[in-house]
Amino acid sequence: MKLTELNPQWISEEGGVKAGILFTCPHCLKARLFVPFVPMKVSEQYDLLAFNGIPQDQLHHIAVGAKGKSWTQNGKGFDQLSLTPSVDASPSGCWHGFITDGETK
């Protein structure tokens, strides 16, 4: 499935620096998955999502990156994005896979 079909959204820190990506889970098509590009605590991830306008009542539906874990991004735009390592939201019943060249695998 193409990442662009999963309502992707850049999540930025103050100053506009990209700090991660938020997208709909390709497995359940309900949960929103947040993948941070910089290490941060889970509480910091929730604060960052709130800073980006994600309503507080949606936060319990968002699977966030593990404490202190971050992913490396390559490519420009959602249609070219590749992330390493894999995104593993399986502990919350969601998707485990890769984003490679804008595709979820």
pTM: 0.90
Task: Report residue 32 as tokens.
Answer: 């929103």
Handedness of CA 48, 51, 55, 56 (dihedral sign): positive
HSE (side-chain half, CA atoms, 13 Å) at 59: 16
pLDDT in tens, 32-61: 999 999 888 888 888 999 999 988 777 777
pLDDT(17) > 80:
yes
